[in-house]
Amino acid sequence: SKGTNYQSTHSYESSKVELIVRPLTCNVVSSSTLESQSLLSVRGIKRSLPITAVNSQGRQEKRVLFNNLTFDGNPNQFVLVYGPSGTGKSELLRVIADLSPLEEGDIYLSGKSRSLFTDSSTWRQNVRYISQQNLSIPGTPRDFIDRITKFKSWSKSCIEQRISPALDKFIVDATGLMRSLGLDAECIDKEWSRLSGGESQRVIVALSLSSKPKVLMFDEMTSALDLKSKIRVEECVRHFAKRFGICVIWVTHDVDQIERMSNWINTS
């Protein structure tokens, strides 16, 4: 948008999705060749969705969401993805997270092709996708932490016995982040069904940051929040990403949010 000095803005063939690649503390890598220092490298990927059923000739019309999409993401870096609803922003994150098929191109983590990862859980341990969909989770956030630390796709440092220093540290980190996001620490023991939409979003943000992945992708994660809470989440994610060297991919259609985030990135 006007008045904003973005360092690298990309739009792609057959797509209304735009990406703004901005660093927190390091220079942007935006070349089309694979750079060994890039944490995440997306190279020439394509994704389309069917818009008609398969006809008698075995053909099917498809709508291309994005084609030949290429960008890099590095530690301490934000990649802002924006565009109108229905243009493929969420699907882009799902493709990167290995939740939707990759039709063309490749994706690399620290120079290693996703196709070389032995299973999808290993990839998702490092590349974590947080959906915008409302979650219906039984029990409390503490119960949820206890369950997810047993998943293969969770950080190996968290896969311990039910009572362990790693699990205790995770809970301490999560409750600390909840306070930073404007929540009471007691939220961790509150029935999930009793959390408001905004509270639920902030709890998920806290849990996802506490898992410390290499790449963290947020899909409209502040949509249910008021302006004050949105800014609080943005700042918390910013500082945590800098502290632990996380690459954050942030999907939004909120122009004001893009302006805010660009302003503090420019002054970092």
Confidence of residue 231 (pLDDT cuts 50, 70, 90): very high
State residue 207 phi and psi, 5-degree precision.
Answer: -65, -40
Structural domain contains residue 158 = yes
Using DSSP, state whether 158 is helix, strand or coil.
helix
Per DSSP, the three-state class of 6 is coil
Residue 96 reports pLDDT greater than 90: yes
Q: Report yes or no on 57 lying in a domain.
A: no
For residues 110-131, give the mean pLDDT. Answer: 88
Whether residue 2 lies inside any domain: the answer is: no
pLDDT surpassing 90 at residue 106: yes
Burial class (CB within 10 angstroms; exposed 0-12, middle 13-18, buried 19+) of 41? buried
Please indicate, yes or no, if residue 55 is contained in any of the structural domains: no
Domain encompassing residue 33: 8-49+62-266
Specify the pLDDT at position 39: 93
3-state secondary structure of 86: coil
233 and 225 in contact (C-beta within 8 Å)?
yes
Give the pLDDT confidence of 164-195 residue by residue, as tens digits. 556 778 888 888 999 999 888 788 899 988 98
Domain for residue 54, yes or no? no
pLDDT at 242 exceeding the cut of 70: yes
Rounded Cα distance, 268 and 261, in Å? 11
User: What are 80's strand-pairing partners?
Assistant: 20, 250
Residue 34 has pLDDT above 90, yes or no: no
pLDDT recorded at residue 163? 44
Rg (alpha carbons) of the chain, rounded to whole number = 19
Domain for residue 204, yes or no? Answer: yes
Q: What's the total number of domains in the chain? A: 1
> pLDDT tier at 97 (50, 70, 90 boundaries)?
very high
State how far the Cα of 137 lies from the Cα of 193, in Å rounded to an integer: 7
Longest CA pairwise span in the chain (Å): 60
**3-state SS, residue 99:** coil
Residue 89, in any domain of the structure: yes
Tens digits of per-residue pLDDT, 153-166? 445 444 444 345 56
Q: Residue 216's pLDDT is what?
A: 96
**What CATH number corresponds to the domain at position 156?**
3.40.50.300
In a domain, 143, yes or no: yes
